[in-house]
């Protein structure tokens, strides 16, 4: 990544607590600072408060789905710059295209490969730190 001395902040928003915990553990073991929320409404509030460097966001969640969270983020001048990776079981082309049209930088389907997720996280953060996202 462009700034190796910096500890990047990532928010994982997913109602599957075990999965979110596994992603958190995996990314923290690679020196990222990770927070979690388990529904869309709490996740949106957390993102607006903390302004993380990146968000990993599920689609199907209680209280507010991931597409609504993503739309709200992209409409808000204070959060529209935050890159979002959609990580979801919704794997058809329509859902993928819709997520990208809403402003997601990547769309990864579950079950996911942690090496691919890590590569996408690093690529997006690298581009963001260079002003490319």
Q: CATH assignment of 9-123? A: 3.40.50.2300
* pLDDT at residue 91, rounded to an integer: 82
Q: Cβ(129)–Cβ(2) under 8 Å?
A: yes
The rounded distance, in Å, linking the Cα atoms of 133 and 126 is 9
Would you list the domain boundaries of the chain? 9-123
* pLDDT at residue 130, rounded to an integer: 64
pTM of the model: 0.92
* pLDDT at residue 1, rounded to an integer: 52
**Does the pLDDT of residue 5 top 80, yes or no?**
no
pLDDT band at 128 (very low <50, low <70, confident <90, very high): confident
Q: Cβ(54)–Cβ(85) under 8 Å?
A: yes
* pLDDT at residue 78, rounded to an integer: 96
Taking alpha carbons only, the member of 83, 35, 87 closest to residue 61 is: 87
Partners of residue 85 on adjacent β-strands: 56, 106
Where helices occur in 1-133 by DSSP H, the ranges are 17-28, 40-50, 66-75, 93-102, 114-129
- For the segment 49-65, the average pLDDT, to the nearest whole number, is 94
The rounded distance, in Å, linking the Cα atoms of 20 and 3 is 26
Taking alpha carbons only, the member of 16, 41, 36, 38 closest to residue 25 is: 36
User: What percent of the chain clears pLDDT 90, i.e. is strictly above it?
Assistant: 77
* pLDDT at residue 131, rounded to an integer: 64
- The tokens for 105 are 């930088």
């Amino acid at each position: 990544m462009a700034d190796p001395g910096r500890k990047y902040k990532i928010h994982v928003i997913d109602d599957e607590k075990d999965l979110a915990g596994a992603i958190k553990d995996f990314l923290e073991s690679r020196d990222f600072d990770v927070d979690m929320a388990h529904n869309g409404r709490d996740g949106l509030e957390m993102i607006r408060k903390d302004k993380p460097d990146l968000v990993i966001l599920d689609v199907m969640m209680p209280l507010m789905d991931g597409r609504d969270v993503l739309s709200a983020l992209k409409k808000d001048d204070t959060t529209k710059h935050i890159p979002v990776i959609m990580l979801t079981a919704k794997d058809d082309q329509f859902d993928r295209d819709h997520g990208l049209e809403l402003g997601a930088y990547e769309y990864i389907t579950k079950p996911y490969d942690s090496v691919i997720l890590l590569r996408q996280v690093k690529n997006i953060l690298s581009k963001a730190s260079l002003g490319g996202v």
